Amino acid sequence: MRRKDFLKAMTLAGTTAALGQFGSVNVLAQTENKEKKGEPDLVAVMNGEPDVMFQKAIAEFGGIGKYVKSGQKVVIKPNIGWDKAPEYAANTNPILVKEMVKQCLAAGAKEVVVFDNTCDNWKKTYKNSGIEDAVLEAGGKILPGDQPSYYEEVEIPNGVVLKKAKIHTAILGCDVWFNVPILKTHGGAQMTISLKNYMGIVFDRGFFHSANLQQCIADICTYPKRPALNVVDAYRLMKANGPRGKSLEDAVLTKALFVSPDIVAVDTAAVKFFNQVAEMPLDKVTHIGKAESLKLGTMNLDKLNVRRIKV
């Protein structure tokens, strides 16, 4: 990294302190401001490194072994769309991905595959994002997603606009998968988080943009093979010029992680958190409400058991 870019990154790092440390996830507290007993529906972790925050979060859900069994094929689907280094917050943090691969293999997974249908050249994005090295070091495998031969067409019976889609065979053939997006802005969808990250498992996403993008995002998430967990990386978030970003000034170090099996709830929580950095009205991210209408989850966090953890 060039010196001037490094200095910009250090300046932006101060945002973590400006958020008031753990107080920044108070927006996720229930009306009564009391955490409920029992297994959580959503876990928000703050103020740790990506691997440590995941360790804390998955422990609240009973450990990775609750989701991954011996001999299973596992897919971890991060955002690896852009030829950018981790400091730019364009892709999921490689440290988080590495930790998840390690834990899945330790739980007995037969193999752990990581892929994305990238926007930039897949070899460059995998390498320069740091994710390729992280996955291989942890013992996982990487697959490309740039050729139609990797995909098979499936029905989307509950879709409003989207009725068919070509989905990557890694998803179709796995036993369990995890949806691991980064929190950032998006020019068309307004925000790209868990719901939007589904566009990386399909090949024919040009239809999404030519039809109704927000509805198609919700529609593809009705595909019956749902992720076991949605793990939203907010260690760094992109506050402007997403999804690619223009400079380090678009990235903010916020040190947070949101995890839930409820894809609507976790994206709702992530947008609420994002609003402490930059304005983004929740009702402007219309694919979240459309997903709730399709019964994919709830936007009403008061109904949920939200566990908040400070590292």
Q: Domain residue spans in the chain?
A: 3-310
Residue 168 Cα distances to 78, 141, 219, 261, angstroms: 14, 15, 17, 21
Task: Name, in order, each residue with C-beta under 8 angstroms of 32's C-beta and a sequence gap of 6 or more.
Answer: none
Helix (H) or strand (E) holding 154: strand 151-155
pLDDT tens by residue, 264-281: 999 999 999 999 999 999
**Residue positions counted in the chain:** 311
**Mean pLDDT of the region 93-107:** 98
- pLDDT the model gives residue 25: 55
The pLDDT confidence band at residue 205, using thresholds 50, 70 and 90, is confident
What's 3-310's CATH class? alpha beta
Residue 133 Cα distances to 107, 140, 170, 284, angstroms: 21, 10, 20, 37
- pLDDT the model gives residue 175: 98
Residue 288 near residue 264 (C-beta atoms within 8 A): yes
**Mean pLDDT of the region 250-263:** 97
- pLDDT the model gives residue 188: 87
Please state, for a pLDDT cut of 90, what percent of the chain lies above it.
84
- pLDDT the model gives residue 123: 97
The pLDDT confidence band at residue 57, using thresholds 50, 70 and 90, is very high
**DSSP state for residue 226 in the 8-state scheme:** -
Q: Which residue has the higher pLDDT, 133 or 34?
A: 133
- pLDDT the model gives residue 91: 98
**Mean pLDDT of the region 107-135:** 97
